[in-house]
């Protein structure tokens, strides 16, 4: 019972941290990349559904907590997810995927992809335009981004890399 309560409190704290960051509040706090991305995805599900796609967190659970500069990380990830969804041609159906992966040096990779619905036509995505559009937010977060090479007929994957943040105040809810 105690674990369930603590988990709910942690999710609520991460949600509050995301909302504050998106509203522009600057506290200099660090946060868990996994918790923050989960809350960004939760907030993005309704707009994604309105665009005709679903939004899912993929990949394995992280074994360690990866700390990032919360406000800049949230703003960069939210902007990347928003622009990634909007780059999908209108009328296309499928799943926008978000995967979180450690980079081995304490940093984190956030990878955005798109899996078109079976039988749908392969419309090209404006992945490079999205990368250019979020460059400033990534730079503010101390991050970098690139479009990963994919095979013919596969949708592009955008890889965002964020360095670990050991400074600032850790917020544990």
pLDDT confidence of residue 97: 95
pLDDT digits (tens, 9 = 90+) for 115-171: 999 988 777 888 889 998 898 888 888 889 999 887 777 889 999 999 887 644 433
Which of 160, 132, 136, 135 lies closest to 148 in space, CA to CA?
160
Domain count, the chain: 1
* Residue 116: CATH number of its domain: 3.30.565.10
The position carrying tokens 């907030």 is 43
- Contacts (Cβ under 8 Å, ≥6 apart) of 144: 138, 160, 161
pLDDT confidence tier of residue 29, bands split at 50, 70 and 90: confident
DSSP line for 38-75: HHHHHHHHHHHHHHTEEEEEESPPPSS--EEEHHHHHH
pLDDT digits (tens, 9 = 90+) for 70-114: 888 999 999 999 999 999 988 889 999 999 998 888 889 999 999
pTM of the complete model? 0.82
Residue 56, Cβ neighbours under 10 Å: how many?
15
* Structural domain for 33, as ranges: 2-170
Distance (Å, rounded) from C-alpha 115 to C-alpha 92?
Answer: 10
Residue 130 · residue 83 · CB < 8 Å: yes
């Amino acid at each position: 019972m105690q674990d369930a309560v603590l988990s709910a409190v942690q999710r609520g704290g991460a949600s509050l941290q995301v909302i504050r960051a998106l509203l522009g509040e600057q506290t200099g706090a660090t946060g868990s990349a996994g918790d923050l991305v989960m809350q960004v995805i939760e907030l993005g599900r309704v707009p994604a559904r309105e665009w005709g796609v679903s939004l899912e967190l993929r990949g394995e659970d992280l074994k360690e907590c990866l700390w990032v500069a919360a406000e800049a990380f949230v703003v960069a990830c939210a902007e990347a997810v928003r622009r990634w969804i909007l780059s999908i041609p209108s009328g296309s159906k499928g799943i926008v995927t978000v995967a979180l992966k450690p980079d081995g040096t304490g940093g984190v990779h956030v990878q955005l992809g798109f899996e078109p619905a079976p039988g749908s036509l392969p419309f090209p995505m404006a992945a490079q335009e999205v990368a250019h559009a979020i460059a400033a937010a990534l730079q503010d977060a101390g991050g970098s981004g690139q479009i990963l090479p994919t095979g013919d007929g596969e949708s592009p994957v955008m890889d965002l890399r964020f360095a670990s943040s050991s400074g600032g105040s850790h917020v544990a809810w």
